[in-house]
Structure 1
Amino acid sequence: MVVAVSDGAIHSHTAAVRLTPAELARELLDHLGPTVVAALSQVRNRKQPYKWAIDDGPRPRIESLQRLQVAHRAWWTIAESEGDEVARAWFIGANPRLDEVPPYMAIREGRFSEVLAAADEFVVAG
């Protein structure tokens, strides 16, 4: 089955997959901060994302890596059209499209397709 997706979704997916785990962690740390990155990755230690950001450092578990990739895709979707500050505010604020749950918490809960759809809808609604 082939699913129709937007060009932006394809581009954000390609960009996230091409980043090494260390690059992915560094970008998210730069834009969202360690508390949000640790929370969405399901790790308790907010220093853990800094360890992932080291080129030869430890790598995130598969589940955490998936969450980092989804977070990067959602962040990229919004930042590309609205800027970094709006993207960060979107990530940490209650979101009506996610039952008033902040997107970073929805990613933590594994609601990937809902978060990505909410990011797309935010950009389209302008």
Structure 2
Amino acid sequence: MKPSNHSAVYVESTESDVRELTRRLLVDLGGPTVQAMAGSRDNTAPHRWAHPEGTGPGPVEEQRVRLGYRVWKTLESLGDREKAALWLLGSNPGLDGATPVAFIAQLHTREVIDVAEAFVLEQVPANGT
């Protein structure tokens, strides 16, 4: 599996409807992970944000959802969603031992994107297959 196109992932994460991004993250990662990414204390908030008639996220939560989606789409290129989901929740030496989800919630964009892209590139065989 080859790494995803960095520019296409960025455009999708910034231009797509946040409700749809939230819905996709909920399907792929589940409510608790999306809640943690968004830095929300309300475990029902991501479900409301994803609902067409629900309340949308506030500006900061929206930034976090968009960043979380960008990281998730980068990791999806691994072709192993379970491994990607575990990576999001695991302690990461490239992030000073914190989890990528925590860095998303803190909006440490450059750091978490760089570490996610490096992780994906490390997993790709040298011949690209």
Which deviations, in whole Å up to 9, do the C-alpha atoms of 1:11-31 show, x marking residues without a partner? 111121232111111111112
- CA offset digits 1:39-84 (Å, max 9, x no partner): 2212101110000011122111111111111111111111123321
1 or 2 for the larger relative contact order (CA 8 Å, sep ≥6)?
2
Q: 1:117 aligns with which of 87, 111, 114?
A: 114
Match of 1:102 in 2: 99
Structure 1, gaps ≥5 residues long: 1-5
Instruction: Calculate the TM-score normalised by the size of structure 1.
Output: 0.88
3-state SS of 1:85 partner: helix
**Residue 23 in structure 1 maps to residue 54 in structure 2:** no
SS at the partner of 1:77? Answer: helix
Q: SS where residue 77 of structure 2 aligns?
A: helix
Distance 1:7 1:31 in 2: 17
The range that moved more, 102-111 or 44-53, is 102-111
Identity of paired residues, percent? 29
**Are 2:30 and 1:46 equivalent residues in the alignment?**
no
Structure 2's unaligned 5+ residue stretches are: 124-129
